[in-house]
Structures are given as C-alpha cells and as structure tokens.
Structure 1
Amino acid sequence: MSGTSEAAELYSTIEESARLLNVACSRETVWPILSAFGDAFAHPGAVVAFRVATALRHVGELDCRFTTHPDERDPYAFARSNGLTPETEHPIGTLLSDVQKRCSVDSYGIDFGAVGGFKKIYAFFRPDDLQEASRFADLPTMPRSLGENGEFFARHGLDDRVGVLGFDYPSRTVNVYFNDVPAECFASSTIRSTLREIGMAEPSERMLKLGEQAFGLYVTLGWDSPRIERICYAAAATDLTTLPVPVEPEIETFVKSVPYGGEDRKFVYGVALTPHGEYYKLESHYKWKPGAMDFI
C-alpha cells in the first residue's frame, strides 16, 4: 500500500514523543490505525497534527489527527471493517452516512490517541461551500440539541458557517465547527454574554484574552441533553510567545517533545468551556500546507 513508509515514520515519531511525555504507547493500539489509512500520508495535501489538553480526562494521552481525502471508501465503515472501532446501535453509528447523503464532503480527518486508540472522524466542507447548521437539524440521527439551539446559532451569525463536523465515537458526541466567524463573536463582552446564555462557567480574564485572538469556534453536542455541552475558541500562532496568555507547564513540555516538519511551525491553541470550568489544549502541526483546513 502506498504510504506505508510514511506511516512507519509517523509511528516512530508518535512512539518517541509519547516516551518523552511519559504517555503509554503500544504498537498494538497505534499501528493498525496508521497501517489501515497508510495511503493518507502519501497524499500531497495531507495534514498531520498532535494535540494535548489540560483537562483531567486528557491527562496521560497524546492525540494525533490526520486528513484522508475522499475516495470510494467510507471512513467509518472502513474503520469498522478493520476492527478499529466497534459496531454500535447508537445514532452516531449512522450519522456520518446521513450527512454524506445530504451534502458533499470535501475531505475527512481521523483522530486517535496513543492510549485510547481510534476516536473521531471529521467531515470537512469546502471553504466556499460552508453548510447551514439548520440543514442537518432534522436528521433523525442528529442530536436534537442542534435544532434546539438553532436560534442561538442564527442570532450570532453562525448558522451558515459550518465548516466541519466531528464525530466522537467513544464519547458519543458531535462537534460543530464554525468558520469565517463574525468578529463580534470574539469580543470580550460577546463572549461573556454567549457563555452566560448557554450556561457555561464564567470565563477567566486569561480566556477572554485568548478569545479575542480566536479565528474559529466550535460547540459539542450530545444525545442526552438539549443543551450545548461545551464551547471552544481557538487561536492560531507560529510562535507561542506571541499569544496574549502564557502556556501551561505541561503544554511547554509537549512543545519540546513533539517534532514538526517544514521551515515554520504552526500551533492552534484552544480554550474549552463547560458548565464546570475551562481547560486548554494545544495542537502542533507535524505536516501541513498553507491553505489547508485546520483542526481545532
């Protein structure tokens, strides 16, 4: 299979990075994913990134995500057939295929953990073909919270700005990523009122400073509640010292431990807010090209 050598190189990078971060990494968990999607790494437009987060549930994990461009292969069916994720009767098991029937998907992304294994699939839409959140709200497999919050999305100018949908199979949640977000959404006063409206924790001054530099945001939805479970604001940088906030010690360790390709390094630094507080995450691009869609 084309891309086998690239997959092997990436596995060695993950293994070494995990060691430096004191994260458990076994070949039995990681290699089957890289091997199954090996052709993705040979694609000239491939994007590969690593991520860590400060939330307790993310401690001891190193996440990796990569793009895979459309072919005749359905990425979720392919993952199941290769034993990467189990069959499920939960609606999330058919949601991606329902989305594919409703609109054209430009490319896909795969997310996995060095410890947790296969986790997510991302469906990317073309930048000139952003989708309307309301277009997906009536899908029987979609969390009802998408429709329940339709007025909220429309009022903030987000309804027609959906650039990516992310399907988290172990957590049984859906992420809705908004691109070309109106600048007003990142003003401190708007962030405060937005978080208050959807029942999130009061933001710290640090969060507000980072939010003012954000380029995009996303919300996390589940099937058990009509409410938005989490909202995340993300800022991009090639030098972390240019960010308006300091980074955590564990994130500094991550930056020193994972390599990057090309002459310039690129980071996406995000702050996620829940009803119980906030946490931070950093994505470091290992392989990317200008103009490629960012993960958040």
Structure 2
Amino acid sequence: MSEHPESADLYSAIEESARLLEVPCSHERVQPILDAYADSLPSAVIALRVATGTRYQGDLDWRFTVGREVDPYAVALSNGLTGRADHPVGALLAEIRGNCPIAGYGIDFGVAGGFKKIYVFFPPDGMQSLATLAACPSMPRSLADNMEFFARRGLDDRVNTFGIDYRHRTVNVYFGALPDACLTPEGVLSMTRELGLPDPGERMLRLARHSFGIYASLGWESSAVERFCFAVMTSDSASLPVPLEPKIEQFLRGLPNNAADSRFVYYAGVSSTGEENYKVQSYYNWQPRMLDQMLLSDSGTTSG
C-alpha cells in the first residue's frame, strides 16, 4: 500500500515524539494504521498520551478520530491491523453499532506495539445507559454485575464514550456530566473502597475535584473493576498536582503540535494491582467539537 501524504506527514510527527521519549517507533506497525484511515486524518482530532507506571513503559500511544460512517473494526481487519478474534471482543463493536446511535469513533495505537483500541463516541445529547450496553450479547458480564454500583451514584445513564481494547481484551466505560457527589474526596473514597481498590492519594483526590469524566476498566475474566480513573482538562501541562517523571515533563515541552491552542487531558487512576497511574494526553491536532463530546465548555478547563 502506498503512503498517503497526510499519513506520511503524521508519521514524521509520531516518529519525532518517539525519539523525544526514547521509545522505539515501528514503521511497519504504525504506517499501515495511518494509511488504512487516511481519508479521516485531514479532519481528525489527533492526540498522543504518555503515562507513568510499569504497565506503560516502552511505548507511546497515539490516537485519532474517524467518522461514524466508517466501520473501524472492519477497516482494521481488512488491512491486517489486528487478527479476527475468537473471543466476544471481536463481535462487540458490531453489536453496539446495531443498538446505539453513534457520533464517531477513535483509533488508539502504540508507536511500538501497533493497533490497540477502538473508541465509540455517543452523541452528546444521547448518552447511553448501562442497561442498553449490558444487553449486548458479547458484553463482558462484569458490566451488568456493576450496574447497581453505578446506578446508586447517578451514573447509569451517563455513558458518553465506550472503549474496546482488542489487545488486552478489556473494555472502558466513560461517564460524563458527573454528579458533584462523585467528585468530593468522600465520594471518591466511597467508590474506590466499595470496588475493593486502593485509596487514592491526596494529590489524586485534589485532582478528582476538577474531573469532567471518570472511567472504569472491566474484563471478561471476573466481575472486578480493574481500573478506576478520573479525567481533567487544562491548558497548562504544569498546572495540576500530577507527579510526572522529569523525562515526561521534558517530553511534553518538546512535543510537535499543530493545534491552534494548547490543551492537555490528565488521567489519574487506581488499579487492582495497587498501582496509582497518571497519564497526560496532548493534542497534535485539536478540534473545538471535542468540547461538546466531552460535555465541556471552555470554562470547563482548569488551571489547577
């Protein structure tokens, strides 16, 4: 397959970001992803994300949006980006497409590891209910097992994004328009303790107060919520109490950026492994429509 101009230009930025973080960049894994979705790239929101913690060492994630008219899993299969899964994860996107209105999709990949995830964005005025999602035959049972937990906190009908991780065979459920009670230190501790997760540290509790979204990671192997995370947007990468390694701070200062304004999304979470993780997402190409998708206005960003 020949390279498209848009995907070739983006690959150069991806390669530069990998060099800055000193991680390997695999042309044979990355370029086919960009070429497969090349028609979407000129109008896409494009971002990259770096994370702390042993789970994320040795790779750097990039992601971009594609339109709702695209079947992103079919594209991935037909271009050999992922193998056909003999597992319910392979049928899940088609079932969601058949049952829910969709605003668009996102593709997530590592510069070293290649294709990883597909995100499903629901319309801002059409957030989905957990009951609708849990009714999909291939959905992990863990979602239904935790519905009552989310319903008691007013989150059962506030799913604005859903992620499918084909590599790890897990799903992410993203909630928006959060009730204030979910963001207080007491509310956060109540949730993590009921889920059997470690108590977040003081820095994470302070950050959670500013969250525009939370998400939970679940799998097919057990009913446990594997990770529970909070997301905060800011215009200043140094404004929040997030303990980033000096190497990552230097990386953020040197990033390629085509966006007209600077925006960063921080993710802070606790996991069943006992590890506290922080991730920061920087936008290579920002589109204002993402504020609607995130259920945010410009005033919804924080400076600390």
TM-score > 0.5, shorter chain as reference: yes
Name the structure 1 match of 2:64: 66
Name the CA distance, whole Å, in 1 between partners of 2:243 and 2:110: 26
CA-CA distance at 1:153 after TM superposition = 0.8
CA-CA distance at 1:246 after TM superposition = 4.8
1:100 equivalent to 2:97? Answer yes
1:75 equivalent to 2:102? Answer no
The secondary structure found in structure 1 opposite 2:106 is strand
1:135 equivalent to 2:129? Answer no
CA-CA distance at 1:89 after TM superposition = 1.0
1:215 equivalent to 2:206? Answer no
Name the structure 1 match of 2:283: 285
Name the CA distance, whole Å, in 1 between partners of 2:9 and 2:268: 31
Does structure 2 conserve the Cα–Cα contact (< 8 Å) formed by 1:251 and 1:282? Answer: no
**CA deviation digits over 1:178-214, x for unaligned, max 9?**
1111121110111011100001111111111111111
Name the structure 1 match of 2:229: 232
CA-CA distance at 1:251 after TM superposition = 2.5
Name the CA distance, whole Å, in 2 between partners of 1:250 and 1:206: 20
Q: Percent same amino acid among aligned pairs?
A: 50
Does structure 1 conserve the Cα–Cα contact (< 8 Å) formed by 2:170 and 2:219? Answer: yes
The secondary structure found in structure 2 opposite 1:241 is coil
The secondary structure found in structure 2 opposite 1:93 is helix
Name the CA distance, whole Å, in 2 between partners of 1:151 and 1:239: 37
CA-CA distance at 1:277 after TM superposition = 2.4
**CA deviation digits over 1:88-114, x for unaligned, max 9?**
110000000011111121101000000
**CA deviation digits over 1:216-271, x for unaligned, max 9?**
10000100001111111011001123324453323203302322123321100111
1:56 equivalent to 2:50? Answer no
Q: Which moved more, 1:171-180 or 1:262-271?
A: 262-271
Runs of 5+ unmatched residues, structure 2: 295-304
The secondary structure found in structure 1 opposite 2:282 is strand
Does structure 2 conserve the Cα–Cα contact (< 8 Å) formed by 1:21 and 1:257? Answer: no
CA-CA distance at 1:138 after TM superposition = 2.5
1:271 equivalent to 2:268? Answer yes
Name the structure 1 match of 2:194: 197
Name the structure 1 match of 2:252: 255
The secondary structure found in structure 1 opposite 2:107 is strand
1:85 equivalent to 2:82? Answer yes
Name the CA distance, whole Å, in 2 between partners of 1:42 and 1:32: 17
CA-CA distance at 1:279 after TM superposition = 0.8
Name the structure 2 match of 1:5: 5
| Amino acid paired to 2:24 | A
1:111 equivalent to 2:135? Answer no
Name the structure 2 match of 1:25: 25
CA-CA distance at 1:19 after TM superposition = 1.0
Does structure 1 conserve the Cα–Cα contact (< 8 Å) formed by 2:145 and 2:223? Answer: yes
Name the structure 1 match of 2:164: 167
TM-score (norm 1): 0.94
Name the CA distance, whole Å, in 1 between partners of 2:183 and 2:55: 27
Equivalenced residues, count:
290
Q: Which moved more, 1:145-154 or 1:238-247?
A: 238-247
Name the CA distance, whole Å, in 1 between partners of 2:149 and 2:199: 19
Name the structure 1 match of 2:34: 34
Does structure 1 conserve the Cα–Cα contact (< 8 Å) formed by 2:213 and 2:231? Answer: yes
